[in-house]
Structure 1
């Protein structure tokens, strides 16, 4: 009886082992379970929330499994390289993607490091051309000095004091280009008040003058570019007789205060005319 009992026990163990082996074989042959985004969010909540809020194409065109091909222990390397999808010509060296796109789940929220320029130029190449074409203090600054947040246009008044108290950053842009600030340009409808904020002496003369220039816009004469000195003949032609123009070849010899042209008492010829009688009078006294 004991022998029979031992035999039956051994037979049971063998049957159990055979069943386990069979089940293992079936499990090995069965297809692997396919995960979906809904499976991932059961454990990983932060990344899906970030993708949903600011994922860009990572939200609309990519699933979790497109980047993370599996889960340990089935897959050992679950953090992908950017170059797996973003091949071809990247904005910058692939090894440095995360310097700007430091959260791959929100790729368009770009946080910039301090004192960077080279990375910026990989996309914004024309700006450095302008900065070097007409060097200024801006040329020596890192891009991130002004643009410390990607896509943010800083206010000029954060660094620069406006020319007059009633001017703001919007007024700065009327004349100054951010990457060529010393190349002053202006529109044809620029007001005299705008010009007067820098050219105060000229404005004072124009306000006091009795000539028609008082009612003329600054940009009417100075219309080509900043600091242009116009020729009087372009508007006035030749208003004086040829004999006078032969003696005084330049308008400024008499009308030497450009913005108050009827005040010419201090002109060289006027001074010479005043000095001549005085000299003659002295000679008469000596006689």
Structure 2
């Protein structure tokens, strides 16, 4: 199981936790590229390497999302009725996303992740330039519309091993939900995405002979444990830093790095 790499996985967890807490990003967008690099150096079969990274990232989100939900609930920003209206679609989409990712070849999934990272980096820069409209009335769709939106968010999030914040928050912002509430609802939706996606990846990868020892389906347990141990406490450190550092500048720098990484993956 190469348990000697555990300190490296802990380091990845710490970095993803700090960046996630400081910039309001899900750790998956940090974890997946780093795991891809490690798995490439370990010469894991390219046909399963990306699925392994994505599924392992989802497993770590289970831990971090629980802490985030609790924090947002304590601050009074959680809108549980809205969460329940999104949750079914999100869970179904996330479960299906695991099988879509399994159906794709590893290199093609990596290219799609890279394209997603490029789009996300551009979105981050544009959001940092956008003026916030205050006190605008909400325009949320009905339950069928929210279920459909949740299904798309869950599907894409599960395919790329992210908690869905990069999709849920912009969607809710477009519906004119207050930012604090949008982030809170997004964090709550991250839990069904991670749980349903993880179950899907475990089933889809069960008994795959190309997977390394220590894998539960597509979830690589040593990496999931190491990253999960560090990301949860370090997310609080990142949240504290967010109040002391120029968040807008940091987001633009991270967007630039993400753009380069995404372009490299997209171009193969």
TM-score w.r.t. length of structure 1: 0.17
TM-score w.r.t. length of structure 2: 0.18
Which structure's CA Rg is the greater one? 1
Q: More helix by proportion, 1 or 2?
A: 2
Task: Report 1 or 2 for greater relative contact order, CA contacts < 8 Å, sequence distance ≥ 6.
Answer: 2
